[in-house]
Amino acid sequence: MSATSTATLGAAREAYEPVIGLEVHAQLKTLSKIFCGCSTRFGAIANTQVCPLCLGLPGVLPTLNARAVEFATMVGLAVGATIAERSVFARKNYFYPDLPKGYQISQYDRPLCLGGSLAIRSGDQWKTVRLVRIHLEEDAGKSIHPEGREGVDTTRVDLNRAGVPLIEIVSEPDLRSGEEATDYMARLRQLLVYLDVCDGNMEEGSLRCDANVSVRKKGAAELGTKTEIKNLNSFRFVDRAIAFEIDRQVALLESGGRVVQETLLWSSERGVAEAMRSKEEAHDYRYFPEPDLLPLDLTPAWIESVRARIPELPHQLRERLVREHKIPEYDAEVLTETRSLATYYEEAAAKSGQPKLASNWVMTEVNAVRNKNGLAIEAFPIRADRLGEMVRMIADGTISGKIAKQVFELMLSDPAAPGELIRRHGLLPIDDEAALRALAKEVIAANPGPAADFRAGKEKTFAFLVGQAMKQSKGRAHPEKLQSALRTELAEKG
Ligand SMILES: [Zn+2]
């Protein structure tokens, strides 16, 4: 595309509103598959976690995994969905090499959960994305294609994944950009991980999504023709594929063409979404109720017992941190990235007695080291109580923020208490009055101009003199005592 046509598209793009809905597949963290006892462990040798049932051999009967139902119900309750007291499994018939039965057991017209919503960020606003439904289903196997694999010359099928329990979470078309879709995915992932029902590992395929994308002229009530982009398995792909498809549809409509309803596959190598199959050849799944499974009946008491086991959710935790620790909403957002990071913060805040200062240290210094080394907070070398102890020493004036950074560096590789490290490395603060007065004298002598200005009433130069003295002491001077020593010295020779 030439520079001119890109600019024209940019202008035309402004006249359109993208409409996006996501279908997210999340693998439930059960030990065994949804209808048999085979293991769900990821990474096993191909076709070692299979049995006659998940291979679809004749004469087998599925048995529903109760834990999968419990996990799916938990997700439904957490998003405020209505849990159906009766839901029905259905056969979704299609032919594919990774589906030996010739059908997938899913739920069709009577899903487990209906409705609900998820709050996402849109710019600096919160926005509610409505959900259509959440249903239970089994995963298919995996085709392993020869491209890029040494010693493999044909496509092979691994059925370890066949029968792994999934939930499909279908949103209303409430999303308006790739960024909103990415935030939705990220918040859904966070919720599932908080609930401990999905490991959220996108690289291993535990969470993936299909995006339905259409565009319409701004202000139009009718929806445009949509396309579906299949199997997006990273946040970056969600963002890029949707942005690509919006631009493609706008360019097509602007050049007088029309969007054809079709299924697209995102190629991350080439950065394009390409047609997989068009609507004309699309499958008729011939859904019908699964004859080998009874309807799934749940009692209200059982549903309530699941509700009682729901832990504190991300938005509840955020609100509580703001309320109890008086920290800004932004801090709470960063600190609740994972449940364990929030726990770490709360321990450090309690130990320090300084919730905001503790928050600053976790968000900046702790997170910087973690990001640089790819460390989960569980593996971070400074435990929360030690960090809290150091923050307390800053707050009570024992050490300056500058010395604290040196102490923090030492703590990363030395498990000793911060007080001990301060002593051992000669970082003890200078708080002796005589020493501070001598330091003040020196700084005044070295900066006669600013000293004279201060004496003439220019209060502003005081901060400069404090800075010089701090620098001279290599950050060790006790801040308040230094200030009072400086004032005394400045007053004396005024
Ligand atoms: Zn099996």
What's the mean pLDDT in 455-477?
89
Query: Could you give the CA distance from residue 197 to residue 200 in angstroms, rounded to a whole number?
Result: 9
pLDDT above 60: residue 51: yes
Amino acid (one-letter) located at 322 = V
Give pTM, 2 decimals: 0.86
Tokens of 207: 């969470």
Query: Could you give the CA distance from residue 302 to residue 305 in angstroms, rounded to a whole number?
Result: 5
Q: Quote the mean pLDDT of the chain.
A: 92
Of the listed ranges 99-108, 188-197, 290-299, 421-430, the least confidently predicted one is 421-430
Tokens of 203: 């690289």
Point out which residues pair with 266 in neighbouring strands. Answer: 273
Which one has a higher pLDDT value, 425 or 345?
345
Q: What is the pLDDT of residue 1?
A: 45
Give me ligand 1 centre to Cα 64, in Å: 12
Contact (Cβ atoms closer than 8 angstroms) between residue 199 and residue 206: yes
What's the mean pLDDT in 311-330?
97
What's the mean pLDDT in 69-80?
98
- Measured N-to-C along each axis, helices 178-195 and 66-78 cross at an angle, to the nearest 10 degrees, of 130
Query: Could you give the CA distance from residue 402 to residue 476 in angstroms, rounded to a whole number?
Result: 8
pLDDT above 60: residue 281: no
Strands 86-87 and 82-83: unpaired
CB atoms within 10 A of CB 42: 15
Give me ligand 1 centre to Cα 120, in Å: 38
CA 372 to chain centre: 18
pLDDT above 80: residue 152: no
Query: Could you give the CA distance from residue 182 to residue 238 in angstroms, rounded to a whole number?
Result: 6
Point out which residues pair with 134 in neighbouring strands. Answer: 113, 169
| DSSP annotation of 54 | T
User: Residue 140: which residues within 8 A CB-CB, separation 6 or more?
Assistant: 96, 98, 99, 104, 161, 162
Give me ligand 1 centre to Cα 45, in Å: 15
Give me ligand 1 centre to Cα 6, in Å: 52
pLDDT digits (tens, 9 = 90+) for 7-29: 667 778 889 999 999 999 999 99
Nearest residue to 370 (alpha-carbon basis) of 399, 336, 398, 341 = 341
pLDDT digits (tens, 9 = 90+) for 363-410: 999 999 999 999 999 999 999 999 999 999 999 888 888 889 999 999
Q: What is the pLDDT of residue 19?
A: 97
| Helix locations, 287-338, DSSP H | 300-307, 314-325, 329-335
pLDDT above 80: residue 149: no
pLDDT digits (tens, 9 = 90+) for 100-145: 999 999 999 999 999 999 999 999 899 999 999 999 999 999 988 8
Query: Could you give the CA distance from residue 241 to residue 229 in angstroms, rounded to a whole number?
Result: 8
What's the mean pLDDT in 146-167?
88
* Residue 3 pLDDT grade (very low, low, confident, very high; cuts 50, 70, 90): very low
Give me ligand 1 centre to Cα 138, in Å: 11
Q: What is the pLDDT of residue 146?
A: 82
Strands 207-217 and 165-171: unpaired
Q: Which residues of 395-418 are buried (b: 16+ CB within 10 A; e: fewer)?
A: eeebbbebbbebbbebbeebeeeb
Give me ligand 1 centre to Cα 274, in Å: 34
What's the mean pLDDT in 456-463?
90
